[in-house]
Structure 1
Amino acid sequence: MNCSVLLSLMLILVQLWLCSPHMQNHSTQNTDRTFTAVRRVKRGWVWEPLFATEEQTSMVPVYIGQLKSDLDKQDGNLKYLLTGEGAGSIFIIDENNGKIYVTQKLDREKKAFYTLRAQAIKRSTQLPVEPESEFVIKVRDVNDHEPQFLDGPYVATVPEMSPEGTSVTQVTATDGDDPSYGNSARLLYSLIQGQPYFSVEPKTGVIRMASQMDRETKDQYLVIIQAKDMVGQTGAFSATTTVTINLSDINDNPPKFQQRLYYMNVSEEAPVGTTIGKVFAEDSDIGENAAMNYFIEGDSSDIFDIITDNKTQEGIILLKKRVDYEIKRRYSIEAKVVNRYIDERFLEEGPFEDKTIVKINVEDADEPPVFTLENYVMEIAEGAMGGSLVGVVTARDPDDDDCPVRYSIVHDMHLKRLFSINEHNGTIITTKPLDREIASWHNITVTATETKNPEKISEANVYIQVLDVNDHAPEFPKYYETFVCENAVSGQITQLEFSQQKVASGGKSSFLSTCQS
């Protein structure tokens, strides 16, 4: 008790000393420096950090802490004042003891702290016993917000057959609570749907492959991820999001023919380029991984060809060279299919190709007769009597039944008929004598027609040369009249002279003059 009285007397002496004229004169020039020193040391104020818990509702003010000056003797001589953000409305202070109360419900997400100022004054003098001090009341967080996936729902793609542990994507949830206080904003991720194919890292939300998956078995998965705050403890809030995970294709499947043996037919009348049939190899991959090329192996590649339909991925077999039923009736070809783009990672499993056999039957067609030659050249002497043999043309039916043929000559309506042909054996004869001096060549067209099918007709060209014979005596181009002088000697040319003289003098009189001279 004596110590307490002594301490009080010492404090009173200090205050009197501070208020003395000498001290006042000394401090007139150094007021700011003195109070600055006091504010820096803050040896007069005593309080703990102040917190107000958000979301609290109460009919009466809620105590949050106390401001106290070490000069307070608790005798009612000091008065505490509070100014700043929310002072007098949100926060009130008991002026007698410095206890602070909150009167309203606070929301940390709207305002996380309040800055206020405290002052202690002496009631009797209304003078401050402590310099005004600034302090902060922090709003303490409670778990009043649910996690949110702001970017969901998610869509991700990962190559099929990716190894276990491959990262697929990352989901992120946000929580409006204070991450620096407690566990309200500490999130924990878990997999609600997607086992056993996927896993999620609890702290990061990174989704990973939990096993290798084949796109050809299933190409899309729906994964549900949950985020819980408070590290998943009791009373935690949670939210979920969906992640659609698509498996992209890789070339891990070779093409396979649907049939090991194909049967096709082609007519011997079919022109080059005719489509004979189609083969198809199935590839479980998609896009360019399913693109393939077809080939024909062996000697048959010079008769048949195969191309790829890039839309349907079918192999189209085409006729590259005409076929003949009478020469060869059946072909067996080997078709091969190869992936256009090959993933070398899977070559160890075997070649990315397949083969099949295609048997092609040549169908017999009713073909027109075939001449032994496309063009015939014959000769006959001029002047030969009508009915003389010129030559023989021959045509036969190439079909198995070897149908008889009928021959005929296509006559030009502008020319006289000079030749005839035996319709049964193709013998060509003249119908009247030919004169080389009128025409030395004759070109005729001979047809051969099947007797059973008159529509099957073939043609051949016959070129007939008329050979010259000595059937004309020499002839002078005109009639000559000449005279011989009576005294002409042997070997004398008369007609030339006559002709020359006749030209010069105009006739017989001139010639006679020549003889007389």
Structure 2
Amino acid sequence: MNWALFFFLALMRGTRIYVLNGTDPEGQPVRYGLGFDPGSKEYFSVDPVSGVVTLIEELDREIQDEIEVLVSISDGLNKVVEKVRVFVMDANDEEPRFANLPFTVDVPESTGSNTNFAIDRHSGVLRIKEGEALDYERVRTHFVTVLAKDGGGNYNGKEQVMSSTATLTINVIDSQDSPPSFVGTPYFGYVYEVSSPGSEIFTVFAKDGDIETPNSIIYSIESGADGVFGINQSSGCITLLTYPDNLRKEVFNIQVKASEVNLQGIVMDFAITTVMIQVVDLNNHSPTFYGETGPQETFELTMYEHPPEGEILRGLRITVNDSDQGANAKFSLRLVGPGRMLRVVPQTVLNEAQVTLLVEDPTAIDYEKFQFLTFKILAVEIDTPERFSATADLVIHLLDTNDNAPKFSSDIYIARIPENSPGGSNVVSVTAKDPDSGLWGVVKYSIYGSGSDLFIIQTDSGIIYTQPWANLDAEVKSKYNFFVKAEDTDGKYSIAEVFVTVLDLNDHPPEFNENILEKTMIIGAPVKIEAIDDDAEEPNNVIEYAIMKAEPDNIFDINADTGEIKLKPYIKSIDIVQNITNQKDCTWSVVVQAKDKGSPSFSRE
């Protein structure tokens, strides 16, 4: 059998790294095997037929650079084993390592820049860039990250560069070079209305920028105090010098100076900051209404009814004011009164406003309904827990305008008058009212129309009479209608209709067409007589008939409504009549009465 020694580079697991090659002198097929000393890590495996050797564990030269392997070959009967040394070649898989870590250095702030550091790439010497200065007050410690890279090499068939980093701590040493600085800015202070002189308002604090070697600080006010505030030069406490009632501003912007003084009392440096002090209002005032001469609780105005919509009530001079400040002086305005006649503006007020009232519903402002209107203007604080409020009374006296036409109590008047009433008789009284005042409410009456000729109206009272010469006759004309007009002094008017019925009187008796009538009666057939009553209406013209006298007696009947005269039912022939009367010529006399149903009743025979 023939063998070959082999060496391996560091490769990835599963990599095919070698092929064993051996033969049997008798020409028998051979099989391959790999073995390792007991307790050793098995890095390789072999295919027993092909002899392909595969890496089953990753190699690391820095841990183990040489591996002993027992390689075997067998023809089934004989077996040869040899120990082979496998050398692991180096790959670029290790990063550079820094020594002497952690690394800390102290540098005075006057010797270098704040962030600009440079390093020599070959020697590793770290330097501060020229022309810059470190600042202890700004940055006391710098952390510089240094990168170290190797020259690169092969790893798993690829070129690879390895690197590592280290952080260097550079402490800046303080020098006497910084001005004072205020702590906790911006500064805001408050002074309340109830504060008294001497009250402490706010305390400022400044410290020397050179922390390691600080100097003393003294305080002073440069501007903005207006003689209202002072400051303690040692403590920096700002105090009130006067009463808050004298404060004319809501905000004071005070310039405060902090000076750095050395042991000899010399001012080395200084800093200035702004302290904003706000005058805080307490809610100790209620809204107040003012007139032209001062506070006022009642306002009066005289105006005409029905002003145009949107018109401003210009006769009012109302101002409302709340002497507090900010949210304490914010309040709403509301108008309380009948209906929605008026609207108040503005509805929200801050501190002070001119109160304006606008007409919203002109039709409701009606003199005929109200001669004066009373409202309350209500001012109520919005955002305060106290909700202080105030009211003012508004009285509006209305003046009348001629905005109404006379109106009849009815659109139709129905009258009845007996016929033959004398001229000048009272027919009916019409009434119209005009709610306007004065002359605008005075009503005059007149009548017109085709049926008005027989009538006359009293212009002031509305009483309708018949004309003095009028002769009413229901039989001639029983129905009249005409119009009556009610008009005020400004020409506004309304119309009503009058219907007059002439009442019929029973002043006509019934009349027969002829006083003596001759009729020929055929047995079994009636004879009819007829009378006429000239009265116009029932029952005056309703006639009732009756037999008053007959010769011979008891042989006739009459229909009271129609006037039909018949023989009594038992008379069936002329012989019966002749036997009753003993007369042969059959000529009879009957007296018939026609009587109307009027009251009193009239009749004719």
Q: By percentage of residues, which structure has more helix?
A: 1
- Using the size of structure 2 for normalisation, the TM-score is 0.41
Highest RCO, 1 vs 2 (Cα 8 Å, sep ≥ 6):
1
**Pair member with larger Rg:** 2
Q: By percentage of residues, which structure has more strand?
A: 2
- Using the size of structure 1 for normalisation, the TM-score is 0.47
